[in-house]
Amino acid sequence: MIENLGNLERTHSCGALRKEDVGQRVTLMGWCAKRRDFGPLTFIDLRDRDGITQIVVNQENAAEAHAKAKEVRGEYVLAVTGEVALRDEGARNPKHATGDVEVQARDLVILNDARTLPFQLDAPATEALAAEELRLKYRYLDLRRPQLQGNLRLRHRLLLEINRYMDEHGFTQIETPNLIKSTPEGARDYIVPSRVQPGRFFALPQSPQIFKQICMIAGLDKYYQIARCFRDEDLRADRQPEFSQLDIEMSFATPDQIFTLVEGLFARVFKLIGVDLPTPFPRFTFAEVMQRFGSDKPDMRIEGMELKDLAPALTETTFAPFAGALGAGGQVKGMAVRGGAAMSRKTLDELQEFARRYGAGALAWIKLGDELSSSLLKALGTETVASMAEAAGTAKGDAVLIVAGKPSVVAASLGALRNEVARREELIREGVYAPLWVTEFPMFEFHEDDGRYYSMHHPFTSPLDEDVPALERAVNGEAQLFAGLRAKAYDAVINGVEVAGGSIRIHRRDVQAIVFKALGMSEETARARFGFFLDALGYGTPPHGGIASGIERTLMVLVPTENIRDVMAFPKTASAQDLMIDAPGEVDQKQLAELHLKIVRD
RNA sequence: GGAGUCGUAGUUCAGUUGGUUAGAACGCCGGCCUGUCACGUCGGAGGUCGCGGGUUCGAAUCCCGUCGGCUCCGCCA
């Protein structure tokens, strides 16, 4: 029978009681995690966000409570009043912080009942969790699991620590609007129709980028915000359509000042999980990490496994895949895998399949086992293969994985293989946190599909001072110079995860105009899209720069987890749906009419 | 937009070469049990094999389509 709470007040949480509390009369409230029935004696594991306390209900000294305990089922909501008792030596449970004691119930109130759950919260460790689809539909049940609650509390502590740190360093949190204007650059926008302005639309911000720069022009000097961002792009294990960023911008800032600020922040944040992050973070240029690791976010927990140029060992080769690649301005690069000679043919086949996803035509290999073996032996002969192995920096027992092709394909496939092989062969150092800065990103990126350059970071990113003359020449016809232009852009990477990215911005109207021109934007287009911003740049804009750090990505490293849905309360599926509230949903005709919208079905 | 993978009891899974009544564990329901904490024990209920179509004497199993979850490429900073 369900009873009212009345004036009954909770005295302790279910994780609070210890030996020192023995003898106290307490009232606990929580959910029945488990009931163990011994006839006249019934045990109930009472759970709340703080822990689990064992309740003992004995027919001999609490007949009424015992009768009610018989009715209790899993996830019933209970209030229990009784005395804290020390458990016998052999009856203690070291798995729970409260395991030395138990509560001898005098009164038990059933505050609410519960239907049988669609899945078990405390499934045996031998079993997998219930299907994620089911857990997302009943998110409020899945969130009862201590693991997820712990993640959300860590998220809270992260946000709190960020706010403290930014405040201590003189930053002001400023909220910027969520209903803004769509810009065609960058990610797809989520669009919101205006009722008041027929045929016009707001966009949800992909980031507060323009607004934070406007804050600098406004003289606010040091801005930050924990901002919600929206991007209507396909999802991944680490991407959701809405997510949070720590957004930072400061005036008169050098990259060094921003690096120091962010290093201090991450050092503070990692203390939350008891880790002393080594500062300052080592710095690498984009060109260097791409050449050595094939990735702009290398995992530095992996020792070695650097990409080596094998072209010098192949100067005289006629082997078509290699000669062809080298002749066409491509590369042949190899990566040594420590102990890789033990890799099976099956493993190598799987790795080739893996490499092909990144555009590699094939994955060649050399194994330095008791005998030299290689997929290239017939084509190249022992001598060439041996010199390739040497160029890759191998020792006996190692293997070399080799990809030939365009530099972008070689980097992408070997870069991905580096992570994949390290994971499979357990070459990732456990318990290590390896941060770095990647600097001097390219200004522009060529898109094959429409044959033009796009900003790699965003259109407000400043070029390196020494590259400005080349930028001007590139805009004035020497288009081949675009590819080599470098930006004052940087990323912070920890354990192969890009946890922050930013740049020094363009603060001069003339330089901004050149960059818009480089992006193929006419003056009219630039005015139409960013006229207000170009105007603002003309009224005394200080040099400024900043950075944004993904809250979820950072949490994924801290927890750690591979699944972004583990670090947010109400995530969406890979097809951007919320299974709990069944969103997105349809709206009725009246709402559509008010918004001046008609649905066109195709 | 493309690829891979999964979908069988409430849940996690098994299900052989296409063949009789689709199984196990956990959970659920009922009985017994005074020291359990993966309680034990006796009994019981529970299935549109994701959905639609096809092949076949016969389909959870083979084929085609489709829906959904997850992962990856493209996309996205």
Judge if the beta carbon of A59 is closer than 7 A to nucleic acid strand B.
Answer: yes
In whole angstroms, how far apart are CA A235 and each of A142, A554, A568, A571? Answer: 21, 18, 15, 11
Nucleotide nearest to A188 (CA to C1'): B76
Protein-to-nucleotide distance from the CA of A108 to the C1' of B44, whole angstroms:
30
- Cα separation of A248 and A74, whole Å? 47
**Closest-CA residue to A541 (of A213, A276, A85, A51):** A213
End-to-end CA distance of chain A: 54
- Whether the Cβ atoms of residue A389 and residue A400 lie closer than 8 Å to each other: yes
Distance CA A55, CA A21 (A): 15
With tokens 């949490």, the residue in question is A555
Please report how the helices A551-558 and A146-168 are oriented relative to each other, as an axis angle in degrees rounded to 10. 120
**Contact between A341 and A425 (Cβ < 8 Å):** no
Which residues numbered 544-573 in chain A sit less than 7 A from strand B, measured from CB? 548, 563, 565, 573
* Sole residue written with tokens 């919208």: A597
Nearest nucleotide over every DNA/RNA strand to the A96 CA, judged by C1':
B37
Summary mean pLDDT of chain A: 95
A490: left (phi over 0), alpha (psi -120 to 50) or beta: beta
For residue range A546-590, list pLDDT tens digits in order: 999 999 999 999 999 999 999 999 999 999 999 999 999 999 999
Q: For the stretch A572-585, what's the b/e string if a residue is b when 16 or more beta carbons lie within 10 angstroms of its beta carbon?
A: beeeeebbbeeeee
Does strand B come within 7 Å of the CB of A376? no
- Contact between residue A266 and residue A551 where contact means Cβ atoms under 8 Å apart: no
Classify each residue of A196-234 as buried b or exposed e, where b means 16 or more C-beta atoms within 10 Å of its C-beta.
Answer: eeeeeebbbbbbbbbbbbbbbbeebbbbbbbbebbbeee
Q: Give the nucleotide with minimal C1' distance to the Cα of A573.
A: B69
pLDDT of amino acid A602: 64
State the amino acid at position A236 in one-letter form: R
Rounded to whole angstroms, what are the CA distances from A555 to A150, A157, A298? 12, 11, 18
Q: How many other C-beta atoms are found inside a 10 Å radius of the C-beta of residue A183? A: 17
- Which chain A residues in 28-57 sit with Cβ < 7 A of strand B? 34, 36-41, 43, 45, 54, 56
Length of chain A: 602
Q: Is the CB of A58 under 7 A from strand B?
A: yes
Whether A61 sits with its Cβ under 7 A from any strand B atom: the answer reads no
Paired residues of A332 in beta bridges? A404
Q: Give strand B nucleotides closer than 7 A to any protein Cβ.
A: 1, 10-13, 25-29, 32-40, 68-77
Tokens (6 digits) for A181? 């204007």
Per-10-residue mean pLDDT, chain A, length 602: 95 98 98 96 97 97 96 97 96 96 98 96 83 96 96 98 98 97 88 96 96 97 98 96 98 98 98 97 97 97 95 90 93 96 92 94 95 94 95 95 96 97 94 97 90 91 96 93 96 98 96 93 89 94 98 97 96 96 93 93 69
- Do the beta carbons of residue A53 and residue A39 sit within 8 Å? no
Q: Give the model's pLDDT for residue A358.
A: 95
A413 contact to strand B (CB, 7 A limit): no
Q: Which amino acid, A420?
A: E
For A50, what's the count of Cα atoms within 13 Å in the CB-facing half-sphere? Answer: 11
CB < 7 A to strand B: residues 433-452, chain A: 441, 447, 449
In a 3-state reduction of DSSP, which class is residue A42? strand
> Does the CB of A114 sit below 7 A from strand B?
no
Residue A314: its pLDDT value, please? 92
What gap in Å lies between CA A566 and CA A67, rounded to an integer? Answer: 40
Q: CA A63 – C1' B18 distance (Å)?
A: 60
Phi-psi region for residue A400, left (φ > 0), alpha (ψ -120 to 50) or beta?
beta
A236 touches strand B (CB under 7 A): yes
pTM of the model: 0.95
Find out whether A553 and A158 touch, Cβ atoms under 8 Å. Answer: no
Residue-level pLDDT at A125: 77
Q: How far is the CA of A130 from the C1' of B11 (A)?
A: 6
Question: CA A564 – C1' B16 distance (Å)?
Answer: 40
A137 DSSP assignment: H
| H/E segment holding residue A5 | none
Torsion of CA A441, A444, A446, A449, to 10 degrees: 110
